[in-house]
Amino acid sequence: MQKIRSGTLAALLLGSIFTPVLSHAAPADSAAIRDSALKDDVAFAFTEGLTTEVGPRPAGTPQEARARDWAVAKLKALGFSNVRAEPYTMPVWVRGRDEARIVSPFPQNLVLAALGNSGSTSEKGIEGEIVYFASIADLEAAPAAALKGKIAFVDHGMKATQDGSSYGYFGAARRQGPSIASKKGAIAILIRSIGTDHHRVPHTGVQMWADGVTPIPAAALSVPDAEQLARVIARGQPVKVHLTLTSKMLKDQPSGNVIAEIPGSDPTTGIVVAACHLDSWDQGTGAIDDATGCGIAAASALQVAKLGQPRRTIRVLMAGAEEVGGDGARAYYKAHGAEKHALAIESDFGADRIWRVDFKLPQGHEVLAKRIAGALAPLGVGASTQEAGGGADIAPLVKAGVPVIDLQQDGTRYFDLHHTPDDTLDKVDPAQLRQNVAAWAVTLEAVANAPESMGVN
Amino acid sequence: MQKIRSGTLAALLLGSIFTPVLSHAAPADSAAIRDSALKDDVAFAFTEGLTTEVGPRPAGTPQEARARDWAVAKLKALGFSNVRAEPYTMPVWVRGRDEARIVSPFPQNLVLAALGNSGSTSEKGIEGEIVYFASIADLEAAPAAALKGKIAFVDHGMKATQDGSSYGYFGAARRQGPSIASKKGAIAILIRSIGTDHHRVPHTGVQMWADGVTPIPAAALSVPDAEQLARVIARGQPVKVHLTLTSKMLKDQPSGNVIAEIPGSDPTTGIVVAACHLDSWDQGTGAIDDATGCGIAAASALQVAKLGQPRRTIRVLMAGAEEVGGDGARAYYKAHGAEKHALAIESDFGADRIWRVDFKLPQGHEVLAKRIAGALAPLGVGASTQEAGGGADIAPLVKAGVPVIDLQQDGTRYFDLHHTPDDTLDKVDPAQLRQNVAAWAVTLEAVANAPESMGVN
Ligand SMILES: [Zn+2]
Ligand SMILES: [Zn+2]
């Protein structure tokens, strides 16, 4: 919980006399907005519509363009103002065929998916002997001679955590592994999927080549396939694998953000940005990553609007190209960074129940934090003393000092699905999604109507 | 529980005086064999080895031939006698590429797998409008005009049952759907997978064309894909799908059964056949279907042998080609049907815990049934009054009147995995597998050493 100083509380009470909109933050209103949001069907309908009528929507592709058109039409129909797409261009990596098989000693196919920006093999593929590494540290420690002309295999099994904190640690195999392997002369790299499931659904994801490194084919094996390959290797005979990972890079493809607003009564008080990303990986339909996030942002903004015009403008930002490096977030900041932003908040961790709220508010806003925490508590959300950090879609804003609140979803099963073909609508729990909308709605309402002065610029 | 008649009991007690091997069936021995089997590591090692060192092993392919070689070597190493492969030939359907996409109104890929004996498209595929059917009954009721030149889609969602009894009802979409659709002039048929999971792993399986029916491309969509297609159709616009399902038929390919024995002390008492199948579908490594079955049969026979030579020969039959129609079972019966068989028992329903025993024994063998039920009860296995029916690998024996016992596995999650890429080693629970071995071991021991005269021929 945030500590409250009595001086701040006094200032708040004084302020309330002059700001009738404060009434929105009263306990009665919090209860009303929670009750209403817990019956919300906008977030699920948004998720269902985007995943069904568009499906997969990789950044910079025609599918992502269809998602923008779809979102613009949908947000207009929902009653948002100033709905528009804001285009930019970007380079795009496009998946081709992903095929692999153990050639010897025990011939059989393996299920895998190329990682973003993977190098491409020829149509005929490549063949090489596997060199096993239990972790990225082992790969780093290996002499280059061990890898020259061979295929590295990094077999680090991810463990689930409720807050997703294991992604940083285990994700290194995907993020740094390919560059390290290439530097040491490997002809390709396979990693065990950065995932916590046991299904034949590989977890893709982006990786960036370090400066001066030659791209090599890089792919994630599904968890059962990684375990199978490890068992085969453990037999002690040399293991040869044939890989066909075709892909291509395109320059200057169209991408874009989608923006929609609930205009506030007092434009001088700054904008509250409610962010998510519209793009998805190509294998699934991006239901939990991140159609639900966009559904939550839109639905909760509408729940606030139901109570009457908020003091601050709530701007829903459905960013493009989050999955491949954040081009959308940078384009938004370039276009809008000079505007006054009161707060940024983002949903990009599925839609299982929100269990914790983290704050990063300016000094003196402890009462606001306490008010929000009080409105969230009935939803089963605890307040933490961890500092909020936001996500990729609001990272440039947060870096510039814009206040941020994190509503932390339960991520226990998130990495069962993340970046796999299995990220589909059936994985969304409508009841938990509604709890997300309720938590977002009380938070947005409190901030949008806060009498405190907030924000950057 | 089986009813006991006192006359039978008297006959048994009389018999016991002259048959010292009856001591094997005494409670003390049952406890010893259970204790030993509950520590068994042979069944898991067999399963791990077959799925790792061979992997997928479709009937009539070089992989199935490798499985036979592997099994012969393994069974010899485990100490079995008379280990050999018994070859036969058969026609073989071979999967090619399985690709599908919604062309309009919402372009996106679908994950599916051709069914066994599916017709093949050209390399370029075919395109057609979807006609929706909620069930096989609806497909049957449709006028042919509705299907002419179109693609049928049967969307019947399977429900899980502990005893697998829903497979007959829901499986009709796969077994009869393709022939019905072809007769009505459909150019292809898609079915919702006969499965109870929600992963992007389609459930393949065999289907036989009815007499005179022209083969058409026939495939199962994964459950999430079937739900997605149903949602797209529910939007009310015509839905066009492009299908590429290439496959081929080969004649006279080599397949075979593998046989291994624990020779009995009295060959006149008949053979106890402990069956499973060595082949698997091509997408997974056939861990629960049916490597575990073969591991259970072999391990439990060895557990019996540990107590000393049994009265009857226990013959482990690892049949070929179960998945595609039972060529192995027929070949076994042709070669061995004239031999005296005391009992047939089969494991082909995964390796989750055995919860029920069903009997089909000759009149007068109620005491034997009671003895077995008593030995199984400490393992949490209840006896039923349902008649045992056996499975495909022993079907010709059962048809010929050979007594049969079914040790029923818990099938609640079996159809999450059945015939999918997800049928891999990680799905096997070693503790439940050991309980299977223990249940099989006490059953085989009781039958192999039963003083009663049993069997056909
Ligand atoms: Zn995301
Ligand atoms: Zn089977």
Q: Is B96 part of a structural domain of the chain?
A: no
Do both A360 and A413 map to the same domain? yes
β partners of residue B206: B116
Do both B122 and B56 map to the same domain? no
Q: Point out the ligand nearest to the CA of residue B423.
A: 2
Do both A129 and A172 map to the same domain? yes
Find the helix packing angle between B366-376 and B6-18, rounded to 10°.
Answer: 80
| Half-sphere exposure for B173 (CA within 13 Å, toward CB) | 29
- Which residues touch B20 (CB under 8 Å, ≥6 apart)? none
B169's tokens: 């009802």
Q: Which residues surround ligand 1, an ion (CB under 5 A)?
A: A 289-290, 348
Asked if A106 and B52 come within 8 Å (Cβ–Cβ), the reply is yes
Q: Residue A134 carries which DSSP code? A: S
Summarize the confidence of residues B57-76 as an average pLDDT: 98
Q: Domain containing A194: what range?
A: 106-238
User: What is the sign of the dihedral through the CA atoms of A280, A281, A284 and A289?
Assistant: negative
Asked if A425 and B285 come within 8 Å (Cβ–Cβ), the reply is no
Query: DSSP labels for B426-438?
Result: GG--HHHHHHHHH
Q: Name the domain boundary from B238, B263, B293.
A: B238
Q: Is B69 part of a structural domain of the chain?
A: yes
CB B190 within 8 A of CB B213: no
Q: Point out the ligand nearest to the CA of residue A294.
A: 1
Find the helix packing angle between B366-376 and B27-37, rounded to 10°.
Answer: 50
Nearest to A201 among B105, B200, B227 (CB): B200
Residues of B annotated as part of the active site: 322
- For tokens 């519209």, what's the residue? A278
Q: Is A221 part of a structural domain of the chain?
A: yes
What was the pLDDT predicted at A457? 62
Give chain A positions within 8 Å (CB) of B285: 108, 228
Q: Is B101 part of a structural domain of the chain?
A: no
CB B44 within 8 A of CB B295: yes
pLDDT digits (tens, 9 = 90+) for B273-300: 999 999 999 999 999 999 999 999 999 9
Which is nearest to B310 in space by CA: B456, B441, B457, B455? Answer: B441
Asked if A235 and B53 come within 8 Å (Cβ–Cβ), the reply is yes
Q: Is B247 part of a structural domain of the chain?
A: no
Q: Name the domain boundary from A208, A238, A268.
A: A238
Q: Is A243 part of a structural domain of the chain?
A: no
ipTM, two decimals, is 0.92
Which CATH number characterizes residue B69's domain? 3.40.630.10
Do both A156 and A191 map to the same domain? yes
Asked if B55 and A108 come within 8 Å (Cβ–Cβ), the reply is yes
Do both A311 and A279 map to the same domain? yes
Do both A270 and A208 map to the same domain? no
Do both A402 and A259 map to the same domain? yes
Do both A328 and A430 map to the same domain? yes
Do both A223 and A263 map to the same domain? no
B147's tokens: 């299907």
Nearest to A106 among B53, B107, B198 (CB): B53
Do both B408 and B271 map to the same domain? yes
Which CATH number characterizes residue B134's domain? 3.50.30.30
Which of A424, A427, A428 is most worth mutating to test chain B (most B CB atoms within 10 A of its CB)?
A424
Q: How far is CA A446 from CA A24, A342, A363, in A?
A: 7, 12, 17
Asked if A224 and B424 come within 8 Å (Cβ–Cβ), the reply is yes
Pick the residue from chain A with its C-alpha nearest to B106.
A53
CB B202 within 8 A of CB B169: no
Query: What is the total count of domains within chain A?
Result: 2
pTM over 0.90, yes/no: yes
Q: What distance in Å separates the CA atoms of residue B12 and residue B273, rounded to the nearest whole number?
A: 23
Do both B140 and B172 map to the same domain? yes
- Please give the residue that has the higher pLDDT: either B16 or B70: B70
Confidence of residue B455 (pLDDT cuts 50, 70, 90): confident
Q: What distance in Å separates the CA atoms of residue B218 and residue B187, rounded to the nearest whole number?
A: 9
What was the pLDDT predicted at A22? 41
Q: What distance in Å separates the CA atoms of residue B84 and residue B346, rounded to the nearest whole number?
A: 19
Each residue's pLDDT, cut to its tens digit, for chain A (457 residues) gives 233 233 333 333 333 333 334 444 456 688 999 999 999 999 999 999 999 999 999 999 999 999 999 999 999 999 999 999 999 999 999 999 999 999 999 999 999 999 999 999 999 999 999 999 999 999 999 998 999 999 999 999 999 999 998 899 999 999 999 999 999 999 999 999 999 999 999 999 999 999 999 999 999 999 999 999 999 999 999 999 999 999 999 999 999 999 999 999 999 999 999 999 999 999 999 999 999 999 999 999 999 999 999 999 999 999 999 999 999 999 999 999 999 999 999 999 999 999 999 999 998 899 999 999 999 999 999 999 999 999 999 999 999 999 999 999 999 999 999 999 999 999 999 999 999 999 999 999 999 999 989 877 6
Indicate if the pLDDT at residue B325 is higher than 50.
Answer: yes
Q: Determine which of B38-47, B154-163, B221-230 has the lowest per-residue pLDDT on average.
A: B154-163
B104's tokens: 């309009």
B440's tokens: 């099989």
Give chain A positions within 8 Å (CB) of B426: 198, 223-224, 227
Asked if B424 and A48 come within 8 Å (Cβ–Cβ), the reply is no
Please give the distance, rounded to the nearest whole angstrom, from the Cα atom of residue B397 to the centre of ligand 2.
18
Cα A32 to the center of its chain, rounded Å: 30
Q: What distance in Å separates the CA atoms of residue B450 and residue B221, rounded to the nearest whole number?
A: 49
A310's tokens: 């908020």
Nearest to B426 among A53, A227, A425 (CB): A227
Q: Is A310 part of a structural domain of the chain?
A: yes
CB A62 within 8 A of CB A56: no
Q: Name the domain boundary from B211, B238, B265.
A: B238
Q: Report the 10 Å Cβ neighbour count for A405.
A: 24
Please tell me the total number of residues recorded for chain B in this structure: 457
Which of B48, B50, B200 is most worth mutating to test chain A (most A CB atoms within 10 A of its CB)?
B200
What is the phi-psi region of residue A252: left when phi exceeds 0, alpha when psi lies from -120 to 50, beta otherwise? left
Q: Which residues surround ligand 2, an ion (CB under 5 A)?
A: B 289-290, 348
Do both B270 and B350 map to the same domain? yes
Which of A44, A69, A196, A200 is most worth mutating to test chain B (most B CB atoms within 10 A of its CB)?
A200
Q: What distance in Å separates the CA atoms of residue B23 and residue B445, rounded to the nearest whole number?
A: 11
What was the pLDDT predicted at B16? 34
Mean pLDDT of chain B: 93
Asked if B198 and A426 come within 8 Å (Cβ–Cβ), the reply is yes
Q: Is B457 part of a structural domain of the chain?
A: no
pLDDT digits (tens, 9 = 90+) for B409-431: 999 999 999 999 999 999 999 99
Q: Residue A146 carries which DSSP code? A: G
Q: Report the 10 Å Cβ neighbour count for B30.
A: 24
Q: What distance in Å separates the CA atoms of residue A96 and residue A94, rounded to the nearest whole number?
A: 7
